[in-house]
């Protein structure tokens, strides 16, 4: 129940759910409070315009990217590589059922590179709602395309906290507690905190780490992919606040 409640609240606090709520508010207030309705409508229009700008979206994501790429020396001190999933694409005719999402693919590619460089064993973790193929199964299949075989396939996790505790349960049997944790640069601040919370020593291994960006005038125009990036950034800020409240140390 908590999982669905949190997911629903998060969906309503960031685009497009937040924008839908603002439009509903405008419709409900249009007759009785027209001035307030206009104000909400203008605020919503301004919000979607700002969040749809490439420069704003990238600034929001970049503000979350705290860790540099994992160097060779740091990688040598790890005992295993843990790759976090980011969902799957299902009901696909060309893949015979499904495959990993685009975000998961980006993480897998970098994780496979680290695994080949280091020879370290790999754990993939990503679950699914009941009745669906776990994302981790697709992750393991995709890793084989790069010649990397996952030693552990954890398919029960529905949240980052689940990723951490289930990975701990699998790796503890082998005495492994020092891991290279692979995810997007913008996701790792939250992920590192929760993996450390359950007892891991974490070497952050971010992928798609931003460097100096070059912008032009077009980056100020509203753009749907930019709005999607802004939504990801807002999701991480909301998730970080929730995890701090829900899983903070006593």
Kindly state the average pLDDT of the residues 86-111: 94
Please tell me the CATH superfamily of domain 72-207, with its number: HUPs (3.40.50.620)
Residue 55 has pLDDT above 80, yes or no: yes
Task: Tell me the domain boundaries of the chain.
Answer: 2-63+222-247, 72-207
Per-residue pLDDT tens over the stretch 184-211: 999 999 999 999 999 999 999 999 999 8
Of 235, 240, 214, which Cα lies nearest the Cα of 51? Answer: 235
CB-based contacts of 132, cutoff 8 Å, min separation 6? 90
Q: Report how far residue 53's alpha carbon sits from residue 177's, in angstroms, rounded to the nearest whole number.
A: 41
pTM, entire model: 0.91
Give the pLDDT score at 249: 54
Q: Are 180 and 205 in contact (CB under 8 A)?
A: yes
């Amino acid at each position: 129940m908590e999982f669905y409640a949190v997911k629903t609240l998060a969906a309503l606090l960031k685009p497009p759910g937040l924008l839908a709520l603002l439009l509903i508010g405008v419709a409900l207030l249009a007759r009785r409070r027209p001035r307030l309705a206009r104000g909400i409508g203008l605020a919503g229009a301004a919000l979607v315009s700002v969040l749809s700008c490439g420069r704003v979206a990238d600034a929001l994501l970049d503000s979350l990217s705290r860790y540099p790429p994992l160097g060779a020396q740091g990688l040598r001190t790890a005992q295993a590589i843990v790759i976090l999933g980011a969902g799957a694409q299902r009901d696909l005719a060309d893949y015979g059922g499904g495959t990993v999402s685009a975000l998961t693919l980006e993480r897998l590619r970098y994780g496979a590179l680290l695994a080949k460089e280091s020879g370290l064993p790999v754990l993939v973790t990503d679950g699914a709602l009941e009745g669906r193929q776990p994302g981790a199964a697709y992750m393991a299949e995709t890793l084989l395309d790069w010649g990397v075989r996952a030693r552990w396939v954890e398919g029960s996790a529905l949240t980052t906290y689940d990723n951490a505790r289930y990975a701990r349960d699998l790796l503890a049997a082998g005495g492994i507690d020092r891991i290279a944790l692979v995810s997007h640069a913008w996701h790792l601040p939250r992920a590192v905190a929760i993996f450390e919370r359950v007892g891991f020593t974490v070497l952050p291994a971010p992928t798609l780490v931003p460097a100096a960006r070059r912008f032009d005038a077009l980056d100020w125009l509203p753009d749907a992919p930019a709005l999607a990036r802004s939504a990801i950034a807002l999701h991480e800020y909301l998730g970080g606040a929730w995890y701090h409240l829900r899983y903070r140390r006593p």
